[in-house]
Amino acid sequence: MLIPFRRVLLTAIRKHNCRLFSDSKITSSRKGLVLGVYEKQSDNDGVHFTEAAAAFDRTVSGKLSEMLSVSGPPLKKGKSRIFYGLHQDFPSVVVVGLGKSGTGVCGNENWDNCKESIRAAVSVGCRQLQDLEVAHVEVDTCGDGQSAAEGAVLGLFEYDELKTKKKVRVTAQPHGSSVDSAWKKGVLYGDGQNLARQLMEAPANHITPTVFANTIEQKLLPFGHRVTVHKRPQSWIESEHMGAFLSVSKGSEEPPIFLELHYKGTSDSAQPPLLLVGKGITFDSGGISLKPSSGMDAMRADMGGAATVCSAIVTAAALNLPINIIGLAPLCENMPSGKANKPGDVVRAKNGKTIQVDNTDAEGRLILADALCYAHSFNPRAIINVATLTGAMDVALGSAATGVFTNSDWLWERLHKASIVTGDRVWRMPLFQHYTRQVTDSALADLNNVGKYSRSGGACTAAAFLREFVTADHWAHLDIAGVMSNKDEVPYLRKGMSGRPTRTLVEFAAGLASEP
- CA 156/CA 144 separation, integer angstroms: 18
Q: How far is CA 389 from CA 111, 239, 372, 411, 459, in A?
A: 25, 26, 15, 20, 8
Q: Residue 25: what pLDDT?
A: 38
pLDDT > 70: percent of the chain: 92
- CA 405/CA 397 separation, integer angstroms: 13
The beta strands (E) that lie in 196-337 are given as 227-232, 257-264, 274-278, 280-284, 324-334
Residues 6+ away with beta carbon under 8 Å from 60: 86, 87
Between 11-25, 65-79, 201-215, the lowest mean confidence (pLDDT) is in 11-25
Where do you find CATH 3.40.220.10 in the chain?
9-174
Question: By three-state DSSP, how is residue 386 classified?
Answer: strand
- CA 430/CA 472 separation, integer angstroms: 18
Q: What count of residues does the chain have?
A: 516
Let me know: does 64 contact 83? Beta carbons within 8 Å.
yes
Q: Which residue has the higher pLDDT, 235 or 186?
A: 186
- CA 152/CA 134 separation, integer angstroms: 14
Q: How far is CA 514 from CA 298, 474, 507, in A?
A: 38, 18, 11
Give the alpha-carbon dihedral of 426, 430, 431, 434, to 10 degrees.
-160
Q: How far is CA 35 from CA 64, 81, 87, 131, 166, in A?
A: 10, 10, 13, 17, 26
Where do you find CATH 3.40.630.10 in the chain?
190-514
Let me know: does 190 contact 153? Beta carbons within 8 Å.
yes
- CA 48/CA 76 separation, integer angstroms: 12
The residues carrying an active-site annotation are 291, 365
Question: By three-state DSSP, how is residue 491 classified?
Answer: coil
Q: Residue 345: what pLDDT?
A: 98
Q: Residue 245: what pLDDT?
A: 97
- CA 299/CA 290 separation, integer angstroms: 12
The beta strands (E) that lie in 130-238 are given as 136-139, 171-174, 227-232
Is the pLDDT reported for residue 232 higher than 80? no
- CA 76/CA 395 separation, integer angstroms: 32
The closest of 32, 28, 165, 167 to 86, measured between CA atoms, is 32
- CA 465/CA 351 separation, integer angstroms: 13
Question: By three-state DSSP, how is residue 26 classified?
Answer: coil
The beta strands (E) that lie in 214-337 are given as 227-232, 257-264, 274-278, 280-284, 324-334
Is the pLDDT reported for residue 17 higher than 60? no
Handedness of CA 107, 47, 55, 130 (dihedral sign): positive
Q: Residue 179: what pLDDT?
A: 65
Q: Residue 227: what pLDDT?
A: 74
pLDDT digits (tens, 9 = 90+) for 163-197: 999 999 999 999 986 668 999 999 999 999 999 99
Please report which helix (H) or strand (E) contains residue 38, including its range. strand 31-38
Handedness of CA 344, 280, 259, 335 (dihedral sign): positive
- CA 64/CA 58 separation, integer angstroms: 9
Between 163-177, 230-244, 486-500, the lowest mean confidence (pLDDT) is in 230-244
pLDDT digits (tens, 9 = 90+) for 261-313: 999 999 887 899 999 999 999 999 999 999 999 999 999 999 999 999 999 99
Give the alpha-carbon dihedral of 463, 469, 472, 477, to 10 degrees.
-20
pLDDT-derived band of residue 24, with 50, 70 and 90 as boundaries? very low
- CA 360/CA 383 separation, integer angstroms: 26
Let me know: does 431 contact 407? Beta carbons within 8 Å.
yes
CATH, domain 9-174, list 3.30.499.10, 1.20.58.710, 3.40.220.10, 3.40.50.620: 3.40.220.10
- CA 419/CA 402 separation, integer angstroms: 10
Say whether domain 190-514 belongs to CATH 3.40.50.300. Answer: no
pLDDT-derived band of residue 44, with 50, 70 and 90 as boundaries? low
Of 2-16, 19-33, 302-316, give the range with the top mean pLDDT.
302-316
Rg for the chain, CA atoms, rounded: 25
Q: Average pLDDT of 44-49?
A: 80
The closest of 153, 120, 148, 446 to 318, measured between CA atoms, is 153
Q: Residue 390: what pLDDT?
A: 97
Q: Average pLDDT of 397-402?
A: 98
